[in-house]
Amino acid sequence: MNSLEQNSLCIDLDGTLAEITDDYSSAPPMPGAADALRTLRFNGWKIIIFTARHFNHWEITTRWLNDNHFEYDQLVFGKPTARFYIDDRGINFNGDWDSTVTKLINTSQ
């Protein structure tokens, strides 16, 4: 694994950073999510936000991220829609950003 992969973190948008709603522009941010991303970036992580949203929602999505003070390095559209994802590098998000950040920082040391 190269250093770029070691310091990169892909984070899903809906259900992880934004609460799931029918209106992307007014979705409430998940509590603690924006602060968590700032903390992770401060600790050297490259933040890549990915979403299953169609690319025609790019403007609404970037505006929402900016309006809600999310700091990130890259935004990727095109995550396949599925009920479950199996990944060998996954960290399960349980809704608690504090424990998720702690887990990531401890794992990377």
Instruction: Please give the Cα distance from 91 to 103 (Å, whole number).
Output: 9
pLDDT at 109: 63
String of DSSP letters for the chain: --HHHHTEEEEESBTTTB---S-GGGPPBPTTHHHHHHHHHHTTPEEEEEE-S-GGGHHHHHHHHHHTT---SEEEE-PPP-S----TT-----S-HHHHHHHHHHHH-
* Average pLDDT rounded to a whole number, residues 13-17: 95
pLDDT at 2: 54
pLDDT at 4: 52
**Phi, psi (degrees; rounded to nearest 5) at 69:** 65, 40
Q: How confident is the model at residue 5 (pLDDT cuts 50, 70, 90)?
A: low
Give the CATH number of the domain where residue 95 resides.
Answer: 3.40.50.1000
The pairing of strands 8-12 and 74-77 is: unpaired
Q: What global pTM score does this model have?
A: 0.85
Q: How many domains does the chain have?
A: 1
pLDDT tens for 54-90 read: 999 999 999 999 999 999 999 999 888 778 777 777 8
What range defines the domain where residue 85 resides?
3-108
Q: How confident is the model at residue 104 (pLDDT cuts 50, 70, 90)?
A: confident
Residue written as token pair 């025609």:
56
Report the share of the chain in percent with pLDDT over 70.
Answer: 93
Instruction: Please give the Cα distance from 74 to 62 (Å, whole number).
Output: 11
